[in-house]
Amino acid sequence: MKKFLEVTNYEDICEINGDDHTKLPDVSAYDDEDKEAAVSEFKLWKLVKAAWKAAGKKQDWSRGNNQRKYFGWFWMADRSGSVGGFSYYDYDYGHDNSIVGARRVFPSREDLEHAIKTFPELFKNTMTIPEEK
């Protein structure tokens, strides 16, 4: 099985998960501005699933567990304050709680940072609203 830190595209994610990379959700009923965000959210879920599978771990949400689950913090504007400067800021982790939900936490800081560096558009597409053209 491919190591998560070797993942460079959506096909690699699907290979780890045993999924068909050509099967994406039907977003035909979505507004045009929301279609890309919906597909990106789906791919992020698959990305997180692949990270846990490649690590050989299952998420443990039982109270008092010591399994760290990592999530990213992002700047929603650039340093001057203008919109559109979305960027990774820092990470944090939780044990038996999460402010981002189970589908957005990674088994290690390295996995999280690799995912953000390799697939920044997936995070940006799900966390921002596209500017009108």
- pLDDT tens, residue by residue, 45-87: 999 999 999 999 999 999 888 899 999 988 877 655 555 567 7
Q: Where are the domains of the chain?
A: 4-127
Percent with pLDDT over 70 in the chain = 93
Q: Which residues of 88-115 are buried (b: 16+ CB within 10 A; e: fewer)?
A: beeeeeeeeebeeeeebbbbbeebbbbb
pLDDT given for residue 80 in this prediction: 56
| pTM over 0.85, yes/no | yes
